[in-house]
Amino acid sequence: MLTVPTMEDDVYPTLNIFRAFQIDDCILQSGDQQLTLYDRLLLTLLPKFVSLRASLHKSSSVQMQVVPILGDVIDTLLYRLPSSVRFNAIDCSNLADYVSILNILFSAAPRLMDNSLLTLQLMRLRESPSKPMNKFVEERLGVNLNVIASLTGIIYLDAYYKDFAVYSTWKFDIKCKTENIEKKPVTLMMDVISVANACCTDHTTRIKGLSINTLVRLFQIMIVRFPEKTIAKLF
């Protein structure tokens, strides 16, 4: 869990690290009893903890204790803001390609503690992109970086190529600048529509329901970020 290249230099005992990964849905079950999502989560994590333990101390016995914190279902699915759980670092490296990058950004960034960063793996590549990184990131997201920043406060900082993958770094600021608050409703709505197009139109193989979930997260951030009268003009 904590030995991926982007995190190994920044892991401290007091850190809370948010990781996103695919749940293994091919796990065999015994008898007629159905495995719950929580069961599958633990079974997916078990090999990772075994590997981590082996890498820490190969010759001695190491004990590990896992304490799960079960969050509210509504908070997890609909993402109420402000979040009750905050993280020092968020590492979304090695995500499956079919997971929406925008959905991860909108879900993870608001959980960052102040002055913390989010590291997101955009895609695997044999060589570094030929075009500027900011343009490459925009193409992968399907949305202008300035639009994302003005709507959500999720700000692109940098991107780099390492270990046959492109990683991007982001920060989050929920406070809305005056220039964004004073945007005309038509302009603001056009920005929202551009995100909707990226979520619903440009991706036809997305997980069922993920596109709508992404838009829900977008509006939940905007409701907290913008004045009530600004949001009211959009509807």
What is the structure's pLDDT at 9?
A: 39
Which residue type occupies 11? Answer: V
31, two tokens: 């008898």
| Helix/strand/coil for 44 | helix
Give the range with max mean pLDDT: 8-12, 87-91, 100-104, 199-203.
100-104
92, two tokens: 């979304």
Q: Is the distance from CB of 143 to CB of 198 less than 8 angstroms?
A: yes
What is the structure's pLDDT at 77?
A: 46
As a whole-number percent, the residues of the chain with pLDDT over 90 amount to: 9
pTM for the model stands at 0.66
CA dist 71 and 87 (Å) reads 14
Q: Cα–chain-centroid distance for residue 77?
A: 13
What is the structure's pLDDT at 85?
A: 67
Peptide bond between residue 82 and the one before it cis (omega within 30 degrees of 0): yes
Mean pLDDT of the chain: 73
What is the structure's pLDDT at 152?
A: 92
Cα four-point dihedral sign 222, 156, 208, 33: negative
pLDDT(62) > 80: no
List, in sequence order, every beta strand (DSSP E) within the chain. Answer: 17-19, 87-91, 112-124, 154-162, 165-172
CA dist 223 and 52 (Å) reads 40
Pick the more confident residue, 221 or 79. Answer: 221
What is the arithmetic mean of pLDDT over 121-142? 84
CA dist 147 and 139 (Å) reads 13
Pick the more confident residue, 10 or 49. Answer: 49
Spatial CA neighbour of 195 closest among 141, 155, 117: 141
What is the arithmetic mean of pLDDT over 170-198? 85
